[in-house]
Copies of this chain bind each other. A is one copy, B any other.
Amino acid sequence: MNITRAWEILKNSGYKKTDKRELILNMFDESEKYLTARDLLTVLKKDYPGMSFDTIYRNLTTFVELGILEETELNGEKNFRMQCESEHHHHHFICMDCGNVKEIPVCPMEMMSEKLPDYTIESHKFEIYGKCPNCQ
């Protein structure tokens, strides 16, 4: 997902272009990692000391709903990241040191439906945590 596409989605959905949204999207554009609401707030308070929780959280929720960001739970905190470009369904390896993310080219869900007849699968979570090559 790039910024241009993100604004496209926002505009099409009737959302306005504000400088707060711009700052938030830029932070995600420049980071490979998952970020928390606090991460954003700390950085953005420097330029906009008035920046409030509400603005951050409300926009994060909107962005996730629109498919601009993806969300996962890490250490009891919500973490956000630019939604991946790749059109194919995939999962993530998350480095516990640097926080960077690598796509895993396999989805274990393929074989699951046949292993669980009579069960309706609504969603799933498959994440691997560890150290990436740079952080060994």
Query: Interface of A with B (CB < 8 Å)?
Result: 73, 76, 78, 93, 96, 102, 104-106, 108-109, 111-112, 115-116, 118-133, 136
Instruction: State which of B108, B118, B130 has its C-beta within 8 Å of the C-beta of A119.
Output: B130
Task: Chain B residues near A108: list those with CB within 8 A.
Answer: 106, 108, 126
When all copies of this chain in the complex are counted, the total is: 2
Q: Are B123 and A124 in contact (CB under 8 A)?
A: no
Q: Are B130 and A123 in contact (CB under 8 A)?
A: yes
Instruction: State which of B115, B121, B129 has its C-beta within 8 Å of the C-beta of A124.
Output: B129
Chain B: which residue is nearest A105 at the CB level?
B115
Q: Are A118 and B104 in contact (CB under 8 A)?
A: no
Q: Are A125 and B122 in contact (CB under 8 A)?
A: no
